[in-house]
Amino acid sequence: MDHAALRLRPATAVSSADASARELARAVWRLLVQIPIDYREHFAQIVSAAGLSMAQAHAVLQLDPDQPTPMGVLAQCLDNDPSNVTGLVDRLHRKGLVERRERPSDRRVKELILTEGGGRVRAEMLAALYEPPAALTRLAPDELRALQGVLEWLAVEAAGASMPGSARSTATGHGARVRAEPATSPSTDSPHTP
């Protein structure tokens, strides 16, 4: 160990720098938490335009358009009891957005599949949801790339860590969260790469 390097930064400077970095990290995290809260009205408008309730919209967004989803998995994704999801699915079925099917290998398992109309509603909601706000489009391309790199790195870190209040596993093969895939993987020379 190089003791000379340790003497260059007194213990008080290290703890002061660490405290300052922690405060900066808290301030950034507060902003990241606040942004979706501020845009919840935008999501409510998208849901309303689709003619759905918030619960129905969340259910439609959780369903994989390419493969059946067991009702139990949907209930888990929605943090709900399977018996409560039955009524929600009934309403989506009446709207013509989902179909229920028995799993061929186990008739006790009910699976959900989006109808053509359900897939269209899901795609329209996602397109509207992922349309960037005007403030973001005013950033320069270099600023957007830098922001994208940091957010992609944070998303990878969050997926691998146990975030507060998130005990869900995606081991079922069904996406427990709707989220965009990173456009690129974080660079290995990134200062944020572990």
Q: Which CATH class is domain 17-157?
A: mainly alpha
The type of residue at 33 is V
pLDDT, one tens digit for every residue, the chain (194 residues): 444 444 444 445 556 778 898 999 999 999 999 988 888 989 999 999 999 999 999 999 999 999 999 999 999 999 998 888 999 999 999 999 999 998 888 888 889 999 999 999 999 999 999 999 898 999 999 999 999 999 999 989 888 875 555 443 333 333 444 434 334 433 434 344 43
Q: Residue 177's pLDDT is what? A: 44
Structure tokens at 57: 């919209």
Q: Residue 143's pLDDT is what? A: 95
Q: Residue 164's pLDDT is what? A: 53
Q: Residue 107's pLDDT is what? A: 84
If DSSP codes are grouped into helix, strand and coil, which group holds residue 172?
coil
Q: Residue 162's pLDDT is what? A: 53
Structure tokens at 117: 């109309």
The type of residue at 30 is R
Q: Residue 167, Cβ neighbours under 10 Å: how many?
A: 8
Q: How many CA atoms lie within 13 A of 172 on its CB side?
A: 21
Structure tokens at 191: 């200062």
As beta bridge partners, residue 69 has: 112
Q: Which of 55, 23, 33 is nearest to 163 (CA)?
A: 33
Q: Which residues contact 150 (CB under 8 A, 6 or more apart)?
A: 192
Q: Residue 163's pLDDT is what? A: 52
Residue ranges of the domains in the chain?
17-157
Structure tokens at 106: 């186990």
Q: Residue 158's pLDDT is what? A: 84
Do residues 71 and 80 lie in contact, with contact meaning Cβ atoms separated by under 8 Å?
no
DSSP state for residue 99 in the 8-state scheme? E
